[in-house]
Structure 1
Amino acid sequence: MTDRAARFAAAYALLRVAADLGDHWIQSDHQAVTKGQHDENEGQSSRAGRLACTAHVATYTATQALVLAAGSRALGLGLKPSRVIAALALSAGTHWWADRRIHLKALAEATGKGNFYTLGGPLGGNYALDQAFHHFVETIAAAVATSK
């Protein structure tokens, strides 16, 4: 295994564990319930949704940054700060985009996954597609973080 491959694998593992922590332990109940709100839905507020999603992504990204920094130091990965910042910006921006829900739903519908998106309620298809999207982006972010 090359040094770059090992660094990539370690960075991906660190980003993945941090994402699980940020999404499932650090995110508040209020953020989880509110981040997908839109004015088009009765009793909901787009502003409240945007604020909750932004707060969630801030703590999510901080968690990824702390875990990646600590892991990089402990494992001697020697990640460049500029690359880590770029990776975290990619992760944060796409995480916000997906967690507002309407964008990911539109993508699911455009790719023929609309029925799967609605399958099984809120922790069914839409959650699976959400997590798959985040895993995909974290793979790219790990490649960005470990590039020379």
Structure 2
Amino acid sequence: MTARIAYADVEPGTELPPATFPVTRATLIRYAGASLDFNPIHWNERFAREVGLPNVIAHGMFTMAEAVRVVTDWAGDPAAVVEYGVRFTRPVVVPDDEKGAVIEVTAKVAAKLDDEARTVRVDLTAHSDGQKVLGVARAVVRLA
């Protein structure tokens, strides 16, 4: 865990360190086991295509969780995130090859919300294969 970020040191517009997260079919199988979400759209290419998807897709909650890692790493404490929500705009398509897919995440402090509670709103953007995969992704973070 890194040192906690001080509320006094943060201003709107502060950019968080960006990150990229690789996603392979093996990643999806491990996540399915951990989450107990064995929907075949996350592992069976034939089924995914039959229901109109371009290929196997990452779990939405997996994509959401990877994105917020930018915030938790920056804040220095996962418990600092007191609220988090996203809209799913496109799925993360995961080809069956050695490379898989990559989720690219950037974030910045959009506003200071409450001086007494030391909370800020962080807006995130997440892309995969040049497409925005999360919309209106926002976290409320309580800083030190």
Please classify the TM superposition score into its range, dividing by the shorter chain length: 0.3 to 0.5
In the superposition, the TM-score normalised over structure 2's length comes to 0.37
Which structure shows the bigger proportion of residues in helix conformation? 1
